[in-house]
């Protein structure tokens, strides 16, 4: 399903997923024109990570992913993930609770986007209060076990980048 290849035009490693027809770049391609930025957070407790099940009417509906959302105009990515975690789960975190992991560059057929990944570790499993407009369920599971559920397109590669085997 995935293959790595070297692209001579931009000199970066590309991860290409054929089912959804997108490319995930580790380095920003020269011709990359993002229309927005997204932040995400792998919320960890013990050996598990929190995954949210998106409502059917949302972009990438009925698929699973970690808490994530768009960066608002004038907002820094760290501010956006703090806001998104609260809006999607009711988790209250501070910037000191978050670890920046990596930024990747995602190309869909219709648009490009920047994707910032963070992690946070909870010593006790926090209660999850979902925003019912956005998500219909949640699961705590080991990150590699999540590779067996229907994930938003870039999520499987982001799991593997954040949690190498």
Residue 43's domain comprises: 2-26+35-162
Cα-flanking dihedrals φ and ψ of residue 137, to 5°? -165, 170
pLDDT value at residue 99: 98
Confidence of residue 21 (pLDDT cuts 50, 70, 90): low
Asked if residues 9 and 30 have their Cβ atoms less than 8 Å apart, the reply is: yes
pLDDT digits (tens, 9 = 90+) for 61-97: 789 999 999 999 999 999 999 999 999 999 999 999 9
- Domain CATH code at residue 131: 3.90.79.10
pTM, full prediction: 0.86
Q: Which residues pair with 53 in a beta bridge?
A: 64, 137
**Percentage with pLDDT > 70 across the chain:** 87
Distance CA 88, CA 135 (A): 8
From 7-11, 135-139, 158-162, the region with the lowest mean pLDDT:
7-11
Distance CA 19, CA 77 (A): 29
**Could you give the number of structural domains in the chain?**
1
pLDDT value at residue 108: 86
| E strands present in 46-151 | 48-54, 64-65, 68-70, 98-107, 112-121, 135-141
pLDDT digits (tens, 9 = 90+) for 95-114: 999 999 999 999 988 899 99
């Amino acid at each position: 399903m995935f293959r790595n290849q070297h692209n001579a035009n931009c000199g970066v490693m590309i991860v290409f997923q054929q089912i959804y027809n997108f490319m995930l770049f580790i380095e920003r391609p020269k011709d990359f024109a993002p229309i927005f930025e997204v932040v995400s957070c792998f919320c960890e407790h013990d050996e598990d990570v929190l995954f949210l099940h998106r409502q059917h009417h949302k972009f990438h509906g009925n698929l699973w992913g970690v808490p994530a959302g768009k960066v608002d105009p004038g907002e820094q990515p760290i501010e956006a993930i703090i806001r998104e975690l609260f809006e999607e789960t009711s988790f209250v975190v501070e910037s000191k609770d978050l670890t920046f992991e990596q930024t990747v560059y995602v190309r869909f057929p219709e648009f490009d986007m920047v994707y910032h990944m963070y992690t946070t570790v909870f010593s006790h499993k926090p209660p999850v209060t979902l925003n019912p407009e956005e998500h219909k369920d949640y699961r705590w599971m080991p990150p590699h076990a999540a590779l067996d559920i229907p994930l938003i397109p870039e999520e499987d590669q982001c799991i593997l980048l954040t949690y190498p085997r």
